[in-house]
Structure 1
Amino acid sequence: MDNLLHVVQYILNLGPSVMLPLALTIIGLAFGQGFSKAFRSGITIGVGFVGINLVIGLLVNNLGPAAQAMVDRFGLHLQVIDVGWPAAAAISWASPVAAFIIPLALIVNLIMLMTRTTKTMDIDIWNYWHFAATAAFVYVVTGGNVLLALVAAILREIIVLKIADWTAPMVQGFFKLEGISLPTGSTVAYAVLGIPLGKLVGKIPGLKNIKADPDTIQKRFGIFGEPMMMGLILGLLLGILAGYDFAKITQIGMSMAAVMLLMPRMVRILMEGLIPISESVREFLQKRFKNAGELYIGLDAAVVVGHPSVIATALILIPITIFLAVILPGNKVLPFGDLATIVFYIAFIVGSTNGNIVHSVITGIVLMASALYMATNLAPLHTMMAQQAHFAIPKGTSLISSLDEGGNLLNWLIIKIFQVSWGWVILATAIVAGLIYYFITRNKKAIEQ
């Protein structure tokens, strides 16, 4: 068990900039690419991901302190601290069941690919931590039952992969990422309610006629509607709300302008390396299987958070989420660590509204309100997980939570299923098994060819 955990930690410590090129080089070789072509594609993808992470670092390192400054400026005091996704991930990987997650998740994904119950090849191994989080929560809920914890992780993975398949056409159509799906645990969870709600908002009389996508804004406001200028303006406003002095206000404004301009360029570098591998996979499958269909490469949602509408929506939602935390009756969570990662939560919502910032913000308000309530509800369990992992609880509070996993609808629902009774566990497992059997049966002839 300890040896397996050490291997897992070693793989995770490599980071996505190393894991992605390695994994994709192997995939390229497996699907008929020559070594030099596969290796070059892998390295290009790694370089693109390094660039994306640098830009996201610029985004998060500016938004995090600004959010903290807003909290301090308005003197907010709530009982539960949002420790953010990095802490939640560390707590999850410290769980006794975490060592099994990576090999188990890979096996489940391969089985689903072979049985054609998913089209997504999830190579975003780092984000398997979301499955580990569900397992860790259920491990606490069931009093240390390892088997049930792993069943919960598998259930979460299956749902995530199916949602990734469902949203892949949007990723290709709106975000222009051919052959890609996004099985990031937080992004897909907020899509479950967010996509239908976003569509509903777009049909409300009065609101449905509002056109607020970047192209329309740019046509209406000229230079000030360009993504770079939008980033500058929203960054300046965020700095003002944070109570910064002139120097810091201008610095955060320039940082947001840089994020808006640089992120799409970093994604283009990544896609330059990914397209040859995607084409090789597609050609390989078409030669060997009739009606093979599409195969999506599952990547981190980081590749879409740089879209101008996504960043603009997230910047607007940060102060709104802080305000919601104050006015919502029954909320006990002080949003903090995860405010800077709202960009990940609302990516699919923005895609579903075709980049309409107004519709996305309205939808986002509902989602962030529900996330605060779920995070409040799971705070005792979140704190128990942290204590078992010997995580230091921040001074001034006795409870912690996170918007990423505490406020995650999929995680919350699975925990509640396992928390209520064994009957629900058996029912959920039977439903998943039935769906798998249905897809296997339906595709049996195609699989055998």
Structure 2
Amino acid sequence: MDILQDVVNWLLGLGAAVFVPIIIIIAGLIVRMKLKDAVSSGITLGVAFTGMSMLISFMTDTIAPAAEAMLESTGISLPVVDGGWTTMSTISWSWPYAFLMFPLLIIINIIMLVLKKTNTFNADLWNVWGKIFTAVAVVAITGSVPLAFLVAAVQIIFELKTADAHQHRIEKLSGIPGVTCTHKMVFFGAVLYPFDMLLRKIPFFNKDFDAEALKNKIGIFAENHVLGFILGCLFGLLAQYDVAEILTLGIKCATALTLFPVITKYFMQALSPISEAISDFMNKKFEGRTLVVGLDWPFLGGSNEIWLAVIWSVPVTLVCAMFLPGNDILPFAGIINLALAVPAYLVTKGNLPRMLVLCTIGVPAFLWVGTAFAPFITELANSTGAVTLGAGQLISNSSIDGPVFTYAISHIFDIINGNVLPAIIFGLWLIGFVLYYRDLMKEAKAAKVQQVESE
């Protein structure tokens, strides 16, 4: 058992940019891709992951200090340190039973494929830590390991069903066939969907308006490099930087927004052959079905709307952090909140005005959940030694993936202690999920009928 755990830990230590391509290469060979094609797709995917990771780190390192400077100028003190997703991942992998989550995920996926309850082959094994984190939270509340794995199994099923429902919309938005997203962050769409339904009833918000439409309206000022420069300079002004620092921040933001679409092209180059090969192979094994590959979110990173929403969310998050009742977390490592922008992008189909409104509405949920998790995450960090903290220091994450679902499902058994709030929140989330799921499936079915009629 220890040897198996050591092997798993070693593979994970390679990082997503190596681990995920290995999975993709193995999957490609299983579905009888030529060795050179499978290796080429895998390495290209590794390049894409590395490039996207570098850009996100670059953007975080660029914006986070400006955000911190803006907060410092207000004199407001918030006690919970934002350690970002890496802190939660590190703590999750410190759980003794963490490596058992891999076979659980794979077995559930295979069973659902065989029973025709999903059409998604989940290749995003790297983000298994998200299930582990939920399980660790359940153990902390109930002390029961079996219950922890039961709740993790429920999360895995929801991820596969959500991936199925999103596939058509994701393919239409990304232009990449045969792929979908199995990341837990898309769960937040169930929270945003009812608000989006209301916004669509307002004429101003019910028009097609994406980044391309913005470019048509204001011309060069909506070009990635120019818009990035303008937004960067505005952040510099708000952070009270000097002229040189303002211009430098502007150029850095322009660089990030210019390169994101470039990196995404490599995802398309890597994923198209592998998704086609897997689909062809699986369609022979599962006659009459079209199976798709489930992946992490970065292949959507070429959408300018996502990054505009991310940048918009930074000042919104800072203002909320300062004045939101019940918030104790100081946003820093999680200030680039993709777990908010990506679901908003999918829910609105890239409608920029609605995305900005939904991101504004969604920010408090992340801060409240980050604050609620702080004592639990701090206790785990201290007990496992995974993260070194000072005496009395609290740590959490201001951008927890799928915050409403994660809080509700991990705390649902706290009802035995008389706390019914998580159960109520989960019930409300489930209603939003069902409504959103039905809308996505209806859209996919209509598109399929239209395709058949056109043929």
Q: Who is 2:97 aligned against?
A: 97
Distance 1:256 1:72, change over 3 A: same
The Cα of 1:323 is off from its aligned counterpart by: 0.7
State yes or no: 1:43 paired with 2:43: yes
Query: How far apart in 1 are the matches of 2:173 and 2:65?
Result: 31
Counterpart of 1:28, as a letter, is G
Query: How far apart in 2 are the matches of 1:40 and 1:115?
Result: 33
Aligned-pair Cα RMSD in Å: 2.7
CA contact (8 A) 1:231 1:253 kept: yes
Counterpart of 2:246, as a letter, is I
Alignment of 1:142-221 (within 5 A): 142-143=142-143, 145-185=144-184, 187-208=185-206, 212-221=209-218
Query: How far apart in 2 are the matches of 1:301 and 1:356?
Result: 18
Counterpart of 2:79, as a letter, is Q
Cα deviation per residue 1:55-74 (whole Å; 9 max; x = unaligned)? 22222221222222222232
CA contact (8 A) 2:186 2:342 kept: no
Query: How far apart in 1 are the matches of 2:371 and 2:266?
Result: 40
CA contact (8 A) 2:366 2:398 kept: yes
Q: Secondary structure at the match of 1:359?
A: helix
CA contact (8 A) 1:137 1:385 kept: no
CA contact (8 A) 2:339 2:399 kept: no
Given the alignment, which residue of 235, 243, 247 partners 1:246? 243
Query: How far apart in 2 are the matches of 1:301 and 1:383?
Result: 28
Cα deviation per residue 1:312-355 (whole Å; 9 max; x = unaligned)? 11111111111112222222222222112x12422121232232
Given the alignment, which residue of 229, 239, 259 partners 2:226? 229
Q: Secondary structure at the match of 2:174?
A: coil
Distance 1:212 1:137, change over 3 A: same
Given the alignment, which residue of 319, 332, 338 partners 1:336? 332
Q: Please, what TM-score do these two structures have when normalized by structure 2?
A: 0.86
Alignment of 1:335-374 (within 5 A): 335-340=331-336, 342-374=337-369
Query: How far apart in 2 are the matches of 1:65 and 1:161?
Result: 37
Q: Secondary structure at the match of 2:293?
A: strand
CA contact (8 A) 1:393 1:399 kept: no
CA contact (8 A) 2:180 2:295 kept: yes
Alignment of 1:377-388 (within 5 A): 377-388=372-383
CA contact (8 A) 1:371 1:403 kept: yes
CA contact (8 A) 1:93 1:132 kept: yes
The Cα of 1:51 is off from its aligned counterpart by: 2.2
Q: Please, what TM-score do these two structures have when normalized by structure 1?
A: 0.87
Query: How far apart in 1 are the matches of 2:111 and 2:35?
Result: 27
Query: How far apart in 2 are the matches of 1:118 and 1:287?
Result: 16
The Cα of 1:166 is off from its aligned counterpart by: 1.6
Query: How far apart in 2 are the matches of 1:26 and 1:190?
Result: 32
Q: Who is 2:68 aligned against?
A: 68
Query: How far apart in 2 are the matches of 1:87 and 1:138?
Result: 18
Distance 1:3 1:289, change over 3 A: closer
Query: How far apart in 2 are the matches of 1:218 and 1:287?
Result: 44
Cα deviation per residue 1:175-210 (whole Å; 9 max; x = unaligned)? 22221111122x21322212342343232354445x
Counterpart of 2:249, as a letter, is I
Counterpart of 2:259, as a letter, is L
The Cα of 1:359 is off from its aligned counterpart by: 1.3
The Cα of 1:273 is off from its aligned counterpart by: 2.1
Q: Who is 1:440 aligned against?
A: none
Query: How far apart in 1 are the matches of 2:291 and 2:401?
Result: 31
CA contact (8 A) 1:156 1:411 kept: no
Query: How far apart in 2 are the matches of 1:350 and 1:107?
Result: 31
Distance 1:200 1:305, change over 3 A: farther
Q: Who is 1:270 aligned against?
A: 267
Identity of aligned residues (%): 32
CA contact (8 A) 1:278 1:297 kept: yes
Structure 1 unaligned regions, length at least 5: 433-449
Counterpart of 1:302, as a letter, is P
Counterpart of 2:382, as a letter, is Q
Instruction: Name which of structure 1's ranges 105-114 and 213-222 shifts more when overlaid on structure 2.
Output: 105-114
The Cα of 1:212 is off from its aligned counterpart by: 4.4
The Cα of 1:46 is off from its aligned counterpart by: 2.0
Given the alignment, which residue of 399, 411, 416 partners 1:416? 411
State yes or no: 1:290 paired with 2:248: no
CA contact (8 A) 1:238 1:315 kept: no
The Cα of 1:216 is off from its aligned counterpart by: 1.6
State yes or no: 1:312 paired with 2:311: no
The Cα of 1:6 is off from its aligned counterpart by: 2.1
Query: How far apart in 1 are the matches of 2:209 and 2:384?
Result: 45
Cα deviation per residue 1:423-443 (whole Å; 9 max; x = unaligned)? 9999x9xxx9xxxxxxxxxxx
Q: What is the total number of aligned residue pairs between the two structures? A: 424
Cα deviation per residue 1:240-288 (whole Å; 9 max; x = unaligned)? 2222222222222222222222222211122112211111122223334
